[in-house]
Chains A and B, each alone.
Chain A
Amino acid sequence: MIRQPSSLSQLYAWHRAALAGENPPRHDGLPECGWFKRRLVKNGPWVPVRIYIEREIDPATGELTCDEIMRIEVEGLDGGDPANHWTYLTPITRREFDHLVDYRLRDSRMLDARQRIDLSNAPTPPQGVL
């Protein structure tokens, strides 16, 4: 049986529709591919989350050599079962995702994702200006 890999258009259809404001249905336990952010604790920092498909494609035939497996990356690390995070995720653009990954490294308050941020503890200076 020939197994064709899913196209990117198919994989990211839900994410594209969500960003377009079409409010696509979100079903528990059925995650979709895309770029997201979430908080791990109340009033904690935003954490970048990516859901993607891991697969192997035979370069000669273009067919799958194994099953497509959905993976999730939370803070750049394996997040386990994507379904466990799915209902907490807010879809964001790829650009916003990249910015979040970068910005977390520049704002030390965001480094501990499980620590709530109290903005009144320290001022927020303009970055990259002084």
Chain B
Amino acid sequence: MLDANEAGIGHNNPPPYDPEALSEHKSKADEFLAVTQQWLGLEKIETEEHAAQVTDQLDGLRGLYKKVDGARKAAKKPHDDAGKAVQAAYSPILTKLQRAADALKPKLGAYVEAKARREAEAKRKAEDEARREAAAAERALREAEASGDISAQVEAEEKAKAAEKAAKEAQKAPDTRVRSASGAGRTMSMRTVKEVEVVNINVLFLHYRDHPEVKALLQRLATADVRATGYDHAADPVPGITVTERKVMA
């Protein structure tokens, strides 16, 4: 028979918050939600007394939100603090490792660039050589055909095939990758990264004007300006917008 005090499944892995406090907040919130549902069930607010009571209910909801949010922050704080402590302990090491890698990359980059130059030069030479060999093989083949010497013809054909193979080899892209010395590391290579500099913002805007993010950004900037203290739409309007005023409960 299971004793009430006996530890059940998961007893040594409790949630990272106080479940009783959470349950209290939840039941209180449920109370408020049930009453809010009563208010929402009314077709409309018609009396001053109801309006005043709704104001109290709204204030209560706001107050409860603050309480629950405060409890959430308090429950989360030790975890945040622990997270910050872990971050503070590990960050310096990570930063040093990142800097070390960043410092090494240009060194390897310089080597890879030099290697690429060497490979390109070797490729050019190989291509020249392959072209020469192909021309010589072509010439030898024509001469052998003219002389009727079977043996010379076969040799010339062999040479032409070898020249063709050499040309194919020479056309291969040079290998500029740097492989791991032990085989366990990642192979590194020079990567081409595209970067953009804006030289004509108007033309650029025209290109992207239909992009939804552009509109959202402009709307955000204009809204901030319009809501700023001292903005006068009549005297100094932000161009390209209309301003409407909407009443909201606050």
Residues of B within 8 A of A127 (CB): 49-50, 53
B56 close to chain A: CB less than 8 A? yes
The 8 Å CB contact of B31, one of A99, A103, A123, A130, is A123
Report A's interface with B, CB cutoff 8 A.
99, 103, 118-127, 129-130
CA distance A127 to B59 in the complex (A): 17
> In the complex, are the beta carbons of A126 and B56 less than 8 A apart?
no
> In the complex, are the beta carbons of B50 and A122 less than 8 A apart?
no
Which of B9-17, B32-40, B123-131, B184-192 is found at the contact surface with chain A?
B32-40
Nearest CB to that of B33 among chain A residues? Answer: A123
Residues of A within 8 A of B32 (CB): 123
B28 nearest CB across to chain A (Å): 8
> In the complex, are the beta carbons of A120 and B60 less than 8 A apart?
yes
Count of inter-chain pairs, beta carbons less than 8 A: 49
Nearest CB to that of A120 among chain B residues? Answer: B63
A-B contact pairs, 25 of them (CB 8 A): A99-B49, A119-B56, A119-B57, A119-B59, A119-B60, A120-B59, A120-B63, A120-B64, A121-B60, A122-B60, A123-B35, A124-B35, A124-B54, A124-B56, A124-B57, A124-B60, A125-B57, A126-B38, A126-B42, A126-B50, A126-B53, A126-B54, A127-B49, A127-B50, A127-B53
CA distance A119 to B59 in the complex (A): 6
Nearest CB to that of B59 among chain A residues? Answer: A119
B26 close to chain A: CB less than 8 A? no
**Known interface pairs A125-B35, A125-B38, A126-B42. Does A120 touch B66 (Cβ–Cβ under 8 Å)?**
yes
> In the complex, are the beta carbons of B53 and A129 less than 8 A apart?
no
Across the A-B interface, the 8 shortest Cβ-Cβ residue pairs: A120-B63, A123-B35, A119-B60, A120-B64, A124-B57, A124-B56, A123-B32, A119-B59
CA distance A120 to B59 in the complex (A): 7
CA distance A125 to B32 in the complex (A): 9
B36 nearest CB across to chain A (Å): 7
A120 nearest CB across to chain B (Å): 3
> In the complex, are the beta carbons of B31 and A122 less than 8 A apart?
yes
Q: Which of A119, A121, A123, A125 has the most chain B CB atoms inside 10 A of its CB? A: A123
Residues of B within 8 A of A122 (CB): 31, 60
Within 8 A of A (CB), among B18-72: 31-32, 34-36, 38-39, 42, 49-50, 53-54, 56-57, 59-64, 66-67
B39 nearest CB across to chain A (Å): 6
B184 nearest CB across to chain A (Å): 60
Residues of B within 8 A of A121 (CB): 60
**Known interface pairs A99-B49, A103-B49, A120-B64. Does A130 touch B59 (Cβ–Cβ under 8 Å)?**
no
The 8 Å CB contact of B63, one of A118, A125, A129, A130, is A118
Nearest CB to that of B62 among chain A residues? Answer: A120
Residues of B within 8 A of A119 (CB): 56-57, 59-60, 63
Nearest CB to that of A127 among chain B residues? Answer: B53
Nearest CB to that of A95 among chain B residues? Answer: B48
Residues of B within 8 A of A124 (CB): 35, 53-54, 56-57, 60
